[in-house]
Amino acid sequence: MIKLLSKIQKNLVYAIPISMFCGLIFGYLFNAGPLKQFIIPVTFVMVYPMMVTLNVKTIFKGKDLKLQLVTQIINFIFVPLLVFFIGKIFLSGQDPKFGLWAVGLFLIGVLPTSGMTISWTGFAKGNKEAAIKMVVFGLVIGSLAAPIFTKVFMGATIEVNMLHMFKQIAIFVFVPLFVGLFTQYACIKKYGNTTWNQKIKPNFPPFSALGVVMIAFLAMSLKAKNIIANPGDIISILIPLAVFYIISYVLLTIVGRLFFSRKDAIAMVFGVVMRDLSIALAIAMTAFGKEGMTIALLISLAYIIQIQSAAWYVKFVDVIFGKTKIEPQKVSEPEKSEKSAALEFEKGTSIIIDVKKILFATDLSETARHAVKYACSIGNKYNAQVHAVHIVPDILDEYSSGTGIDLSGIIDKTKKSELNQDNIEKAKTAIHERMKITSQKVLEEIPHCPLSEERIIVQAGNPVDEIVKIAKNQNFDLIIMGTHGHGELEELMVGSTASGVILKSKVPVLVVRPS
């Protein structure tokens, strides 16, 4: 099930048009009226998974007030005015459907900004922390402002029941938000941050993608007969959407280049351009009665332009803002003390195996810091070399999952290699910095230092596959790594890196559990 949903998520740019086409055929051949009863549950399926993965803690980190302020001013002053006037220019026909499409365009303009903001910002090597804040602030402010803005700007076009609209936003934004944050809190408390981020959290976005595809199907099927009778409607909708995204990209790029650093500028661009189409669809389908189907049609088509335009922008981001520079990670004094304490070696360890070459696999987590004591103690006792290996995620796979489309056909192999190498170099910098901090402590306690800066392996790929391959190809005698399992249920879910290495490796594996 998850594999199928993940494929849909990675290929959303194709899945949405296919779903809309299927909806068009279904709605033309059959009576789609009974499908209306599925709008509310499908909308919840679409919105809730996005809320579960939202990281609100980052809003208290960093000093980027200017960036956040400028982004939200653009989001809630410039963009609403832009979509209002684009609607006036391109959607001013006599037929009531033009007015409804203008409302749909306006809803897109007052509901920033989607979870895709974070993924696309990261893929373009922008400021991801700032992007997360933009998502949180945009979600809250947009949800409160949308009914008011829609009433003020579009009240003459369509009857806007503000109270009803607030009610729908509460159902499809704030209820899923609170339930999602509670789900996140409960999972982290029970399984820990690493298990949550690596094994549980990735399972939610595919369900959101399923909701998007289903909503697109519903919106299209319910308006199928009208669309087939008037095929020019699709062109009428796509033109103003294209104008909106082109103007947004151009103006934001200029502002970013003039006033912000490369990373902040990229975050601002995606923090504005990646509109929250899922919430807009939810409101359109539930807050405007029968007319909501017509409004939802424009929002569904916006997915196609938004995802494709983001992919192309990333492709040329180095030309627009210049290539990013790798900066060494700074380590604070408290972190130095913590990292020094991580290499306190245990004395008198007795084991019966004889090893000369140890591979210590680390994900730089707390359990890895505990496991390194065993690696160094065993290495010192038997005069064995200890090599540290850290596997960074393949950047293309990571952001393909986050953005909801398969980027392998868009990003070429050279670009992928550059991005992976960037992450590898950053990881090497972090590990080398840790080694420098702890090396003096090691030399004080152990005459023979088995773990040194020269024995660090960092590369990109699947952690299980890469660790097993390195251990085999470089003739290691023992693999040492940590696990986050604390009980039977956790160990069943460890299906993670530790258990994967145990299953696949022919080299013995020592798994160290937290003390």
> Quick check: 158 pLDDT over 70?
yes
Contact 370, 343 (CB under 8 A): no
- Residue of 507, 468, 514 whose CA lies nearest to 491: 514
Using 50, 70 and 90 to split pLDDT, how confident is the model at 349?
Answer: very low
CA angle 164, 168, 169 (to 5 degrees): 115
- Residue of 462, 439, 113 whose CA lies nearest to 279: 113
> Quick check: 457 pLDDT over 60?
yes
Average pLDDT over residues 137-155: 89
pTM: 0.62
How much is the pLDDT for 174? 84
Higher pLDDT, 181 or 61: 181
How much is the pLDDT for 273? 94
Query: Which range has the worst mean pLDDT, 88-102, 244-258, 270-284, 488-502?
Result: 488-502
How much is the pLDDT for 510? 87
Using 50, 70 and 90 to split pLDDT, how confident is the model at 487?
Answer: very low
> Quick check: 115 pLDDT over 70?
no
- Residue of 356, 436, 360 whose CA lies nearest to 391: 360
How much is the pLDDT for 439? 47
Residue 360 neighbours by CB under 8 Å, 6+ apart: 371, 372, 375, 386, 387, 388, 389, 451, 480, 481
Q: What is the strand order of the sheet 357-361 is part of?
A: 451-460, 385-392, 357-361, 478-482, 509-512
Q: Which amino acid is at 336?
A: K
pLDDT, tens only, 316-327: 888 998 876 655
Each as own residue / partner, the long-range contacts of residues 395-398 (CB below 8 Å, 24 or more positions apart, any chain) are 395/123, 395/419, 395/420, 395/422, 395/423, 395/460, 396/420, 398/122
How much is the pLDDT for 239? 95
pLDDT, tens only, 200-218: 888 887 887 788 788 778 8
pLDDT, tens only, 187-203: 988 888 878 877 888 88
Q: Which amino acid is at 230?
A: N
What is the distance of C-alpha 108 from the center of its chain? 20
Domains of the chain: 39-204+233-318 (1.20.1530.20), 333-512 (3.40.50.620)
